[in-house]
Structure 1
Amino acid sequence: MPVQDNLPPGVSEALREYRTITTIPVQWGDMDAFGHVNNVVYIRWLESARVDLLDSVTSEVTMATGGIGPILASVHCDYKRQLHFPDTVHIGSRTERIGRTSVDVEHAVFSQNQQAVVAFGKSVLVVFDYAANRPVRIPESLRAGFEDK
Structure 2
Amino acid sequence: MLNLLDGFPVTVEFPVAWGEMDLLEHVNNVTYFRYFENARIAYFKKIGYMEHTSKTGVGPILASTECRYKFPLTYPDTIRVGARVGEIYPDRFTMHYKIVSLREERVAAEGSGDLVSYDYNIGAKTPIPDVIRERIEVLEGG
Separation in 2 of the partners of 1:16 and 1:56?
18
Report the equivalent of 1:135: 125
CA contact (8 A) 1:61 1:70 kept: no
Q: Would you say 1:100 and 2:86 are equivalent positions?
A: no
Q: 2:29 aligns with which of 27, 39, 49?
A: 39
**How far is 1:138 from its partner?**
0.4
Amino acid of the structure 2 residue aligned with 1:71: I
- Cα-to-partner distance string for 1:22-62 (whole Å, 9 max, x where unaligned): 11210000000111000000011111111111111135643
**How far is 1:16 from its partner?**
1.7
Report the equivalent of 1:22: 12
Separation in 1 of the partners of 2:117 and 2:36?
18
Q: Would you say 1:69 and 2:59 are equivalent positions?
A: yes
User: Which residues of structure 2 form unaligned runs of 5+?
Assistant: none
Separation in 2 of the partners of 1:25 and 1:66?
35
User: Which residues of structure 1 form unaligned runs of 5+?
Assistant: 1-9
Q: Aligned pairs, how many?
A: 138
Q: CA 1:65–1:44 in structure 2 vs 1: closer, same or farther (change >3 Å)?
A: farther
TM-score for both structures, normalised by structure 1: 0.87
Amino acid of the structure 1 residue aligned with 2:86: E
Q: CA RMSD in A?
A: 1.5
Separation in 2 of the partners of 1:81 and 1:66?
41
Amino acid of the structure 2 residue aligned with 1:143: R
Report the equivalent of 1:5: none
Q: Would you say 1:78 and 2:78 are equivalent positions?
A: no
The SS at the match of 1:32 is coil
Amino acid of the structure 1 residue aligned with 2:28: N
CA contact (8 A) 1:77 1:119 kept: yes
The 4+ residue runs of structure 1 with deviation greater than 6 A are none
Separation in 2 of the partners of 1:69 and 1:90?
26
